[in-house]
Chain A
Amino acid sequence: MPPTRDVIIIGAGHNALVTAFYLGRAGLHPLVLERREVVGGAAVTEEFHPGFWSSIYAHAAAPLAANIVRDMRLASHGLEIIRPDPALFAPSNDGPALLLYRDVTRSAQSISQFSQRDAERYSEFARVLARLAGVLQPLMLKTPPTLRNPHAGDLWTLLGAGRALRGLGSKDMFRLLRWGPMAVADLAAEWFESEPLRAVIASRGIFGAALGPWSAGSGALLLLRAAFDPEPASGVSFVRGGMGKLAASMAQAATQAGAEIRTSAEVAAINTRNSTATGVTLAWGEDIAAKAVISCADPRRTLLGLVGPAQLEPDFAARVRNYRSNGVLAKVNLALAGLPTFTALGGQGGTALAGRIHIGPEIDYLERAFDASKYGEFSAEPYLEAVIPSLSDPDLAPPGQHVMSIYAQFAPYKLRDPDWHQKRESLGDAVVQTLARHAPDLPGLILHRQVITPLDLEEQLGITGGHIFHGELALDQLFSLRPLLGWAAYRTPIQGLYLCGCGTHPGVGLTGASGASAAREFLKDWKKRKA
């Protein structure tokens, strides 16, 4: 019988690799078990058509938390981040396009086509977001305090947060308190009067979530995202070579730190005895004993699927079942014979298309796209966030040809009609037609199309409900409530079982923060255990 491992990490998504790195750095030798043949989870690069490489799932980093990039020395492991400028191109219905740059003054010039007043307020908005982000970012990297029975450390966090808040001055403090529960449409309307800008600002409050711009609480999402990237334009951060290169660099850092990574090693069960994790069983029946298990799978899959409801208190199991994780985001990857021509750019445009291409010209447009999903349908005019990474990273496609990667919302996991396997291509058609309204030559350029629905995300990546953030980003599932009240500190009711995936705080995307915080909490317990 093989010796008992210290710790097993389930899944080799980016958060798991971050956890593995920090554990390795602390002198442990974690064993990382990945179901697929490649590491990275949703951060992978695949040749989806001969000669065309795409980050087929996630196409941009969130951006990554700077301290993690530094600690893991990712640059030395081959990570190169590309931040295209202009950051964003948003064609409007008939008029000119909105272009936002990394530079606020340049952005203001473009905004002034729509509204002089908005152009003036934009820089003020950017300053306010930056100030609020200054307070929020530390909270994103900390373990959320438990509200249930706060201990000294939690009170300290709360006190620190309180002090930081007060340091903002009462005006900004009240902004923070008000904006969180607000509808992002209201928030955008308080600042700006032109629809294209409002819609761009509002989109950060709804991306990846089952929220429309008129949904209360979408303001919180905008704030959480701004914590990592206070630029109002929120441009993309590409990884040269695609997201797989990010995973590869992280895997290299983790391995060097002492982690062992096994791919094609699907965990079928987490074994427990007396509510304590004892190891895992692989799909082919092999048992691996371990003193602790850290799961990067989503909370429902971890607790209901791998541990099993029979091992949990019935009340707790019921709460996990009520954790909402039905995804709304689909992904379309296109191999293009050439660069599409957007009407709004008047035929020219290469560099204008290098950043985020936002299709959602009005708040009402975004809301209507959301409406359909409430009734189990998808809109014929979806909200799209597209990128053409081959513009800044030509190796992704043959010379002169391009890769276009499109997030499409809202595609509800649960369709009223049969299921996604029947509807996949009609969603793809809706996405292409929507783009074609702004770039009429696009359909003729498509060499290959790959459509990934929430059901595909579930089946391919094992994410329950296909929710790219491992659980709905709503007020009742954030911060001290993520995934569940009382269990936001990366621990679970099973002793020795931890969560490190996106279903834990902060959970807003590819930041690595969940993985780093989970490692920190795990190591606290580990040291006590050894002492």
Chain B
Amino acid sequence: MSSNSRYDAIVIGGGHNGLVHAAYLARAGKKVLVLERRHVLGGAAVTEEVFPGFKFSVCSYVVSLLRPEIIRDLDLPRHGLEILPLDGTFTPTPEGPCGSKGGYLWRVNDHAKTRREIARHSPLDAESYEEYGKAMAEQAKFVKPILGMTPPDPGRLSLDALRKVTFLGRRFRDLPEPDQYNQVQLMTMSAVDFLDQWFETDVLKATMSASGIIGTFLGVRSPGTAYVLLHHYMGEIDGAFRSWGFSRGGTGAISNAIAAAAREAGAEIRTQSPIARIIVKNRRAAGVALENGDEFEARVVSSSVDPRRTFIGLMEPNHLPDDFVEQVRQYKFRGSSGKVNLALDALPDFTCLPGPGAHLRGAISISPSIDYMERAYDDAKYGRFSRRPYIDCVIPSLTDPSVAPPGKHVMSCFVQYAPYHLKEGTWDEQRETFGDTVIDTLAEYAPNLKNIILNRQVLTPLDLEREFGLTEGNIFQGELSLEQLFFLRPVPGWAQYRTPIRGLYLCGSAAHPGGGIMGAPGRLAALEALKDWKG
């Protein structure tokens, strides 16, 4: 084994969290190697030319949660990060002829405009919408520091835990009373129950509640979904809350910018380097062995893949306590979503609002009613993809023409629910039927769609698992349910990025604060690892 195969730290996985993690370690002067299984970096934050001339943000497709301190620390704009605005959400509804009341709900960032639009459905809701926005901004401000914090461990009485608990307690106490009230509700209620308190318009509540279920195996009426609502409300671009955007060049450009920052700090990054196992000696991480037999030594190994892959896939079970392994097995993935990427010859034309208007530049949400959303979930509970799914579409080529040939477009459709575990048949058999269901659903609102599809890529939860290593196809590397959050993520007692193996860290979305292109787990894990380095 040559000396250049020895590193201070090895990072498993070149997704955005692995890269952030590597960049922070490298900036602290560590000799870091990132090993990525695929030929391309980014994990689920990746741009690929799936069809010639058409570039897709294959999995994750919008950005907003990326932590501002990471953008700052790693100087990402200098490395090519550019966020383009994604303005508004357009929700077509089936009932009501075009032009009549109903037909669609179109919310944009311009408050006055959105207010007028909502007033078309309910003047009362237009009033509440204003207040709701303010209240949620307050809630997001309260929760945000938690995203930048390593969770305390209630199982061990330490000064650090006491300090953090006191800090959180004080912050809560100092909140104005109505905010305390909202905060408690957000942590416990269902998205629909929470929104019911504010609004009466069904389609408004339905489309808003959608962000409460993304990446979970829960329905909009399931308790705990109000929190995910907030999780998605915490987006921050240029200091403006609740603004979502595209990254120029697709989400892969974000990963590339982070990779550039990591390389500049001295990190070495290798693609096409699948890992066979983590080498453990004397209950300490000692390095990794690749599938091709190469071995690399390191004092620290950080895994940005999920706990099941890390502890059950890449390690001999006898290195770990039985209790711990059992908890890892209990960690829930249950992917519930798929993705359909379309190469289009022209723009879709919505019956309720014809023409290539600005409504196509934002998100297009198929979430016409609460019952529609809930029925979509009911299908999934019994092991079937939704016959009429919730779909969130974007057409990034309208904002960023570089991703499609002139005059053509890419359309990215996030689809829920598509349960990983099917009761009948396999995903390989049902992939195209699933794709058809998505197209049929969309064509109910934009009938020309079927005629303008040049190519389509259908990603089932099984494909997400095979291609991107997302176990059971869960886009957040594990469900964002209350019992898998904060000091319980990924497993109780091990929420501080450390593991029962000394020198082995978790730095992916399965660690606090979870998924989305946020980078927080990568950064926090790096800070914890560096703390141990000093100790």
Interface stretch, picked from A2-10, A104-112, A142-150, A343-351, is A142-150
Proximity string of chain A (144-180) to chain B, C-beta cutoff 8 Å, 1 when within and 0 when not: 0001111000000000000001100011011001111
Q: Is the CB of A322 within 8 A of B222?
A: no
Q: Is the CB of A215 within 8 A of B378?
A: no
Sorting the interface of chain A by its residue count into under 10, 10 to 19, 20 to 34 or 35 or more gives 35 or more
Interface stretch, picked from B170-178, B250-258, B452-460, is B170-178
Interface stretch, picked from A26-34, A419-427, A441-449, A473-481, is A473-481
Q: Is the CB of B180 within 8 A of A215?
A: no
Q: Is the CB of A215 within 8 A of B223?
A: yes
Least distance between B476 CB and chain A CB atoms (Å): 16
CB-nearest residue of chain A relative to B192? A374
The listed residue (A324, A364, A486) touching B177 by CB distance below 8 A is A486
CB-nearest residue of chain B relative to A149? B173
CB-nearest residue of chain A relative to B491? A174
Given known A215-B223, A216-B224, contact A177–B184 (CB-CB < 8 A): no
Enumerate the 10 nearest inter-chain pairs by beta-carbon distance, A residue then B residue, closest first: A181-B482, A174-B492, A170-B155, A475-B188, A476-B188, A216-B224, A217-B223, A178-B483, A216-B223, A476-B189
Least distance between A363 CB and chain B CB atoms (Å): 10
Least distance between B491 CB and chain A CB atoms (Å): 9
Tally of B interface residues using CB under 8 Å = 38
How far is A177 from B493 in the complex, measured between Cα atoms in Å?
11
Task: Judge if B444 is at the interface, Cβ distance under 8 Å.
Answer: no
Interface set of A (CB-CB < 8 Å, partner B): 147-150, 165-166, 170-171, 173-174, 177-182, 186, 190, 211, 214-217, 219, 315, 319, 322, 324, 364, 367, 371, 374-375, 474-476, 481, 485-486
How far is A338 from B493 in the complex, measured between Cα atoms in Å?
56
How far is A211 from B224 in the complex, measured between Cα atoms in Å?
13
CB-nearest residue of chain A relative to B492? A174
The listed residue (B178, B221, B323, B493) touching A374 by CB distance below 8 A is B221
Q: Is the CB of B154 within 8 A of A173?
A: yes
How far is A375 from B224 in the complex, measured between Cα atoms in Å?
20
A-B contact pairs, 23 of them (CB 8 A): A148-B173, A149-B173, A173-B155, A174-B155, A177-B492, A182-B481, A186-B332, A214-B222, A215-B223, A216-B222, A216-B224, A217-B188, A217-B482, A219-B483, A319-B181, A322-B197, A371-B378, A474-B189, A474-B193, A476-B184, A476-B185, A476-B193, A486-B177
Interface residues of B in 432-489 (CB under 8 A from A): 481-483, 487-488
How far is A410 from B59 in the complex, measured between Cα atoms in Å?
39
Given known A147-B184, A476-B188, contact A174–B223 (CB-CB < 8 A): no
How far is A179 from B492 in the complex, measured between Cα atoms in Å?
12
Interfacial chain A residues near B218, Cβ < 8 Å: 216
CB-nearest residue of chain B relative to A375? B371
Least distance between B374 CB and chain A CB atoms (Å): 6
Given known A178-B492, A475-B223, A476-B223, contact A171–B180 (CB-CB < 8 A): no
Interfacial chain B residues near A150, Cβ < 8 Å: 173
Proximity string of chain B (357-376) to chain A, C-beta cutoff 8 Å, 1 when within and 0 when not: 00000000000000100100
The listed residue (A147, A322, A364, A474) touching B223 by CB distance below 8 A is A474
Q: Is the CB of B154 within 8 A of A481?
A: no
Interfacial chain B residues near A475, Cβ < 8 Å: 188-189, 223-224
Task: Judge if B159 is at the interface, Cβ distance under 8 Å.
Answer: no
Interfacial chain B residues near A148, Cβ < 8 Å: 173, 177, 180
Interfacial chain A residues near B167, Cβ < 8 Å: none
Main secondary structure on A side of the interface with B: helix
Q: Is the CB of A177 within 8 A of B154?
A: yes
Task: Judge if B382 is at the interface, Cβ distance under 8 Å.
Answer: yes
Given known A474-B223, A476-B184, A486-B177, contact A216–B189 (CB-CB < 8 A): no
How far is A170 from B493 in the complex, measured between Cα atoms in Å?
8
Interfacial chain B residues near A319, Cβ < 8 Å: 181
Task: Judge if B381 is at the interface, Cβ distance under 8 Å.
Answer: yes
How far is A315 from B156 in the complex, measured between Cα atoms in Å?
40
Q: Is the CB of A367 within 8 A of B481?
A: no
Task: Judge if B330 is at the interface, Cβ distance under 8 Å.
Answer: yes
Main secondary structure on B side of the interface with A: helix
CB-nearest residue of chain A relative to B382? A364
How far is A186 from B172 in the complex, measured between Cα atoms in Å?
31
Extra pairs beyond A216-B481, A322-B197, A324-B193 (10, CB < 8 Å): A149-B173, A174-B155, A215-B221, A322-B196, A364-B382, A474-B189, A475-B224, A476-B185, A476-B189, A485-B180
Interface residues of B in 331-359 (CB under 8 A from A): 332
Least distance between B324 CB and chain A CB atoms (Å): 11
Task: Judge if B112 is at the interface, Cβ distance under 8 Å.
Answer: no
Task: Judge if B1 is at the interface, Cβ distance under 8 Å.
Answer: no
CB-nearest residue of chain B relative to A189? B330
CB-nearest residue of chain B relative to A363? B381
CB-nearest residue of chain A relative to B482? A181
Least distance between B451 CB and chain A CB atoms (Å): 35
How far is A214 from B481 in the complex, measured between Cα atoms in Å?
12
How far is A438 from B333 in the complex, measured between Cα atoms in Å?
37
Least distance between B295 CB and chain A CB atoms (Å): 36
Proximity string of chain B (183-202) to chain A, C-beta cutoff 8 Å, 1 when within and 0 when not: 01100110001001100000
Interfacial chain B residues near A322, Cβ < 8 Å: 196-197
Least distance between A117 CB and chain B CB atoms (Å): 14
How far is A136 from B378 in the complex, measured between Cα atoms in Å?
34
How far is A179 from B482 in the complex, measured between Cα atoms in Å?
10
Q: Is the CB of A181 within 8 A of B193?
A: no
Proximity string of chain B (492-508) to chain A, C-beta cutoff 8 Å, 1 when within and 0 when not: 11000000000000000
How far is A182 from B378 in the complex, measured between Cα atoms in Å?
18
The listed residue (B178, B185, B493) touching A174 by CB distance below 8 A is B493
How far is A217 from B371 in the complex, measured between Cα atoms in Å?
21
Interfacial chain B residues near A166, Cβ < 8 Å: 157
Interfacial chain B residues near A486, Cβ < 8 Å: 177, 180-181
Q: Is the CB of B223 within 8 A of A171?
A: no
CB-nearest residue of chain A relative to B217? A214
Interfacial chain B residues near A315, Cβ < 8 Å: 178
How far is A367 from B379 in the complex, measured between Cα atoms in Å?
12
How far is A215 from B157 in the complex, measured between Cα atoms in Å?
32
CB-nearest residue of chain A relative to B374? A374
Interfacial chain B residues near A485, Cβ < 8 Å: 180-181, 184
How far is A315 from B176 in the complex, measured between Cα atoms in Å?
13
The listed residue (B173, B180, B224, B381) touching A217 by CB distance below 8 A is B224
The listed residue (A181, A214, A474, A476) touching B483 by CB distance below 8 A is A181
How far is A217 from B223 in the complex, measured between Cα atoms in Å?
6
The listed residue (B224, B323, B374, B487) touching A181 by CB distance below 8 A is B224
Least distance between A326 CB and chain B CB atoms (Å): 11
Least distance between A263 CB and chain B CB atoms (Å): 37
Least distance between B25 CB and chain A CB atoms (Å): 30
Interfacial chain A residues near B156, Cβ < 8 Å: 170
Given known A217-B223, A485-B180, contact A171–B323 (CB-CB < 8 A): yes
Interfacial chain A residues near B157, Cβ < 8 Å: 166
How far is A76 from B255 in the complex, measured between Cα atoms in Å?
75
How far is A215 from B193 in the complex, measured between Cα atoms in Å?
13
Least distance between A114 CB and chain B CB atoms (Å): 21
Interfacial chain A residues near B378, Cβ < 8 Å: 371
Interfacial chain B residues near A174, Cβ < 8 Å: 155, 488, 492-493
Interfacial chain A residues near B196, Cβ < 8 Å: 322
Interfacial chain B residues near A171, Cβ < 8 Å: 323
